[in-house]
Structure 1
Amino acid sequence: MAERQLGARSARRRLSRIAGVCVIVAGFAFMSCPPPAAAGPRPDRPRLCATEPAPPTGSATTPPPITSGSDVWSFVSEPGLHPQRVTVTAHEPGTARGKIFVGPYAIGAPVVGQTGALISDNSGDPVWFRPLPSPDLQNADFKVQTYHHPRTGKTQPVLTWWQGSIAIPPTYTNLPGGAPEPGGCYYIYDNHYRLLKTVFAHHGFYPDEHEFLLTRRGTALFIATKPVPMDLTPYGGPKDGAILDSEIQEVDLETGKLVFSWDLLDHLDPAESEVSASDAATSGGVWDAFHLNSIDEGPRGELLISLRNFWAIYDISRRTGQIRWQLGGKESDFTFSPDADFYWQHDARFGPDGKISLFDDGCCNQPDGTPEQESHGLVLDLDFDDRRATAARTYYHQPPLFSASQGNTQTLSNGNKFIGWGQSSYYSEYANAGNTEGNGSENLLYDAKLPGSNISYRAFRNKWVGKPYYPPSAAAKTENGHSVVYASWNGSTQTRAWRVLAGPDPDSLSVVERHAERTGFETAIPTDDPGPYFQVKALDKEGRVLKSSDIVTLAH
């Protein structure tokens, strides 16, 4: 479709900004004149970032995590790890290969287990867990991507995620709920769990948790956010307010330089928002008019973006920066067949044959009497000749779910769909044919429920081979008069069995168990040998030693 001529609409969307003055909004100083590019670490010297939460701004503190009980994993060999324990409610043949990737946290309730980045298998057992030191720190958009090295042409699988603090009241009330607090960043880890890169935003924006996408060009596309001071009275908000602006940024991963940016305030009219500017009164005077929550790149370099609070998806020419078409919202270029419309949507993705997939939250707080919809995965067929969107596939849950925020619809390599239910505590996999409202169990292949009030912004199924650079962990205890050795290797996907060595001193160890099958994250291996020194060796499927643990002593 040719790029549309925006004309008066483009002019109306371009907003003048207050220039040359520093304004204080909700306890933060914002420069309305363009700030210099954010200073970050040298790209060839990555460092840990966002290791402490943002200072609280609200009236209450976040409750401490629940780190014991039946809903939490605890391990003898890894006493510092307490990931959530999910309940698998369905597991049928036909699921795609791969592990499950989530970033558990909670809103308005204690998180069960630690927050962090968690890989699990189909049984719900942890595979790798990287905990965070505070429930006010979260990981989001945790997944496997391919890192393309532009200089060498080589590629490698990597783990990527956002890390930082999310504005969750009543702990954080300076920004709209779900916005990133200052201080976040993006991580890239290799399959040995070593830090490769940390990525930061430019133009004084904050790295945003909603999207971090690696490209074939050796760059990263992501969402960056910041409040911009603005008189909101034309929209029904405060005069000394601010609007939460978002910018699509693309950074060269080798140099750290910004190579592309596209600012929402330069192209879109906040008056099209479905969120009242009066809501700024509860978020430090900042209005979340747009809420940009996903970016996808098409085969010709076009960008697909989702604006939750506009109920709209846009196709943007990366070359010219013009909007090619709009799907949904107050000025949609398309009409909708029954079951094709969506509200508060997330995770818009290009699909084959002109299709678009997304997660339709469908609720809540509908304005103007708009009916609430049951949340579901949605695939739309776009007819560009008639400018009409038709529901090609839908994916509903049983019991019905109503997710007020977050969520994603991932297309898997075998055509299945993996659904992260966002603010509802589930993730699921469906056969490609999907189902219809009221038939949520049809074509459901896999389903798991997170404990307590735990949720994950998105959930993914990805293929992953983890080869930790660090050694396995071991512990030994006396239980009922016998020695029990506990073995684990956080992140190893190749370990199939364990070999146990024991002896009276560290220099005189011999094999006491040649091949103990791995049983979940941690394997308990009884032995009659009194030790008191023990060591374990991780074995692959061929029985070869992958790596040895440190030598540990028996605890009574």
Structure 2
Amino acid sequence: MRRFGWLLALAACGGGDDTGADGVPDTTDTDTPGTGETTPTPNEPFRLRSASIHPPESDKVYLVQQLDVETNHPSTLTARITDGNGVVRTITWTAASDSHAVPILGLHALETYSVEVSVESAEGEVLTAEPIVFQNGPLPEVFPTLDLYYRDPARVEPGYVLAAPWSSGLGRVITVLDDEGVPVWAFVPAGDWKSPNLTARGVAGLQGETVPEISWLGETVHRFAVDPEGDDIPLDFDGLHHEALPLPDGGIYLLSSEPLDISDYPLDYSFTLFGDVTIANHIAHRVTADGTTIETWSMADRIDPRRIGFDSAELIGGTETYDWGHANAIVVDESDDSVLVSMRNQDAIIKFSRATGDIRWIFGQHGGWSPAFQPYLLTPTGDDFQWQGHQHAPALLPGGKMILFDNGNHGRANPYSDENLGATYSRVVQYTIDETNWTAHLDWEWSRTLTGALNSAALGNADPLPQGNVFATFSYLYSEDDVSNEALGRGTVSTRLIQFSPVDQATVFDLAVYGPADTSGWLVDRALWLPTLYGDSATVTVSD
């Protein structure tokens, strides 16, 4: 057995009338000969045949338990889960079935729980089983240190953190944390995951040249793949990177990279050297659920492939290809059927029509754009306006508002200007874009963490939450409050996951993710704050 807490079973007391002394139906029944199934007669009384809790079959998933319930007629299922402090979570699954196999999520490592299972028939009859008591299993052996700096229970938005930390020297894990920063689910993948997202069945993300979807019980239920195996859905392009944005219809938006030969490309930032080179051109794709590519947009066909930003004249590690644009996110604007692509090394976000591919606007500094692109540049307004530098993760809000994570690399400067924009620090920014007057206004910015401004050298995320707070991922941190991670006794790089209020700039949740000294540390790309883990499949209430 792989972990402890294995058989966490229920059996109701038997009786001559198939009902126990407590009124609960016996959990055994007679199988139909030769089928292994039971066939109730139309008039057979509603019965709860069995209920059990056990670890999932997958040896890669942790902290989740599987609840199996059998009834003789279709029923809806409810589980009341009581922890050691008397806190009760009630989960009611919406789908009716006579055979339930569902995940119990939100459990802490090594904690003991009592679960009361009840089922309700279509006629409204409710049967309740004897409580099942079990101890949950441990965390994976390889897991980052989680250090909760601060939490304001009155102001933090309820929910869960979905993150996929990785360490080049230690390993990787996909995990879910509760709003106290405590792990409640973990999965150990074979390779690093990027761009994790919640799906109806679990989580999906980008893993090398594949996009797997993993159920909460640790099963691979779907996978797009460049080199398909078994039931994989084949993709007709390679070079996947940065983005895997699932769609409700089972399709997906993806970013890929392909080499593109360019003449007279700038090879330095003073524009004294030019050459014939190969750049990485980034392409956005829309793919259907069966792997058919139905839309493709080449970024080199939309903007000038000879315009550069800082880091555009650098080779991608181990290659002879220049990192021209470094696209890192796709956003879909349903309001006008358009697509946005964030291009880090261009310090720009490009919006274009999904139907025609025509540019709508360019959000970023004005230097270096040829006359053909000048009409698409948004005009900044306001006294304190400052463009972003090497941004990540734009997110759209109603009213033309856009939130993004501004890494601030190179002091937000660009090679086409001598302007010194000051110290390099990272921030979360909200802008308002007026597409009638072609302007951009800075609404607010936030960088006031509990340890001062942070410099997130790469990666990052900023997500607006339902009640108005914002959740930010500050990754690739080498120091905090001007003290290096090494001096703090940590691995080289670390991450901070912070929820804050843009109204009064207050931090309401701050969690550090790091590794032990003399290691590379831990990084997180695009952690998400999820209001629920069950989506529409279940409702969850909590009471003391």
1:378 paired with 2:425, answer no
Out of 202, 217, 242, the position equivalent to 1:158 is: 202
Residue of structure 1 aligned with 2:511, choices 439, 448, 470: 448
Quick one: distance in 2 between partners of 1:190 and 1:262? Answer: 31
C-alpha distance in structure 2 between counterparts of 1:393 and 1:290, whole Å = 27
Determine the structure 1 residue equivalent to 2:86. none
1:406 maps to 2:459: yes
* Structure 1 residue 326, shift from structure 2 partner: 0.8
* Aligned equivalent of 2:445: 394
Q: 1:186 aligns with which of 195, 205, 211?
A: 211
**3-state SS of paired residue (2:356):** coil
Q: How does 1:240-389 map to 2 (within 5 A)?
A: 241-253=277-289, 255-275=290-310, 278-280=313-315, 283-299=318-334, 300-329=336-365, 330=367, 331=369, 333-336=377-380, 337=382, 338-364=384-410, 366-368=413-415, 369=418, 370-371=420-421, 372-389=423-440
Question: 1:400-549 to 2 correspondence within 5 Å?
Answer: 400-424=453-477, 425-433=495-503, 435=505, 443-452=506-515, 453-465=521-533
Q: What secondary structure sits across from 2:467 in the alignment?
A: coil
Cα 1:321/1:234, change in 2 over 3 Å: same
- CA spacing shift, 1:355–1:412, aligned 2, 3 Å: same
1:364–1:404 contact (8 Å) kept in structure 2: no
Q: Tell me which residue corresponds to 2:143.
A: 83
Match of 1:280, SS state, is: coil
Deviation string, structure 1 residues 141-185 (Cα, Å, up to 9, x no partner) = 12314xxxxxxxxxx353111113xxxxxxxxxxxxxxxxxxx21
After superposition, the Cα gap between the structure-2 partners of 1:74 and 1:423, relative to the gap in structure 1 and judged at 3 Å, is farther
Write out per-residue CA displacement over residues 251-286 of structure 1, whole angstroms, 9 at most, x where no aligned residue: 111x21111111112222122220355422864211
Hey, what's the Cα distance between the residues in 2 that align with 1:457 and 1:232? 34
Q: Provide closer, same or farther for how the CA distance between residues 275 and 394 of structure 1 changes in structure 2, counting only shifts above 3 A.
A: closer
Residue 216 and residue 80 in structure 1: after superposition, are their counterparts in 2 closer, same or farther (change >3 A)?
Answer: closer
Matched, 1:234 2:280: no
SS in 2 for 1:456: coil
C-alpha displacement at 1:455, in angstroms? 1.7
Return closer, same or farther for 1:131/1:494 CA change in 2, 3 Å cut-off. Answer: farther
Among residues 252, 255, 262, which one is paired with 1:223 in the alignment? 255
Note closer, same or farther for the CA distance 1:459–1:384 as it changes in structure 2 (3 Å cut): same
CA contact (8 A) 1:303 1:316 kept: yes
List alignment gaps of at least 5 residues for structure 1.
1-47, 49-72, 146-155, 165-183, 436-442, 468-491, 497-540, 543-556
Alpha-carbon distance in structure 1 between the residues aligned to 2:316 and 2:514: 33
1:90 CA displacement: 0.8
Per-residue deviation at 1:446? 0.3
Q: Please list the CA deviations of residues 275-314 of structure 1 after superposition, one character each: whole Å capped at 9, or x if unmatched.
A: 3554228642111111111111112321111111111111
| 218 and 325 in structure 1: CA distance in 2 versus 1, 3 angstrom threshold | same
**Partner SS state of residue 349, structure 2:** strand
The residue type paired with residue 456 of structure 1 is V
- What residue in structure 2 maps to residue 506 of structure 1? none
Distance 1:79 1:350 in 2: 36
Structure with the larger strand share: 2
Q: CA, structure 1 residues 284+232, in 2 after alignment: closer, same or farther (shift >3 Å)?
A: farther
How far apart in 2 are the matches of 1:277 and 1:238? 13
| Residues 106 and 400 of structure 1, relative CA distance in 2, 3 Å threshold | farther
Instruction: Report if the CA contact (8 A) 1:97-1:463 is conserved.
Output: yes
Shift of 1:74: 10
Max Rg structure: 2
Percent sequence identity over matched residues? 19
Residues 158 and 189 of structure 1 are in contact (CA less than 8 Å); yes or no, is this contact kept in structure 2? yes
Secondary structure, counterpart of 2:315 in structure 1: helix
Where does structure 2 lack aligned partners over 5 or more consecutive residues? 1-57, 59-108, 112-135, 227-234, 268-272, 370-375, 478-494, 516-520
Count of residues paired in the alignment: 357
Aligned match of 1:195:
220
SS in 2 for 1:423: strand
Change (3 A) 1:235 1:283: farther
Question: 133, 139, 160: which is aligned to 1:99?
Answer: 160
> AA paired with 1:82?
V
What residue number does 1:440 align with? none
Q: Is the 8 A contact 2:160 2:533 kept in 1?
A: no
